[in-house]
Structure 1
């Protein structure tokens, strides 16, 4: 997949981690997360996409990754290379990770 697609009932899972970060550390955190995603996460079995969003006020970073299964998420989180980046990120900010499924989607009328 070359783009992030959000659908209901497609069987995928999202791992969303919202970090609370000091504004002067947001860019460093974003780079840590980008490097980990580029070097390891996107190559893991079951990874569909990784998206890193930074808040305009500099106080948050949202890490949104889509996966084929909960087992793929669990296996990835057990990888020592991934744990290294998780630990580096936790030194810079307070993480709050959770797995999600898409409940509903709403678009403006065409």
Structure 2
């Protein structure tokens, strides 16, 4: 289960993919494969959460890494690169690092 808190020792990325509706499910499957099989092999990977946009054209991936350097190193891995090539054949990506500044719970 994802735990979101301020002052953490992780870097959070909220990646928003734009995809044609007919490719949304395939994109979800590719990202799930990466989250389950590929990224756990990478040093510094913490977790990923995949969200399907109900409008059919977006998929969000909320993922966390120990550092930006860890993610940069993972991007150079041949298996990661091969998976991302498949992803980018059907989707565009807005990749942005974030810092948690506030968490609100009842």
- When normalised by structure 1's length, the TM-score is 0.89
Moved over 6 A (4+): none
State how many pairs are aligned.
Answer: 106
Deviations 1:29-78 (A, max 9, x none): 11111112222112211111111110111110001111111111111111
Deviations 1:54-110 (A, max 9, x none): 0111110001111111111111111111011111111111111111111111223xx
- When normalised by structure 2's length, the TM-score is 0.92
1:25 matched residue in structure 2: 23
Over aligned residues, Cα RMSD in angstroms? Answer: 1.1
Unpaired runs of 5+ in structure 2? none
1:84 matched residue in structure 2: 82
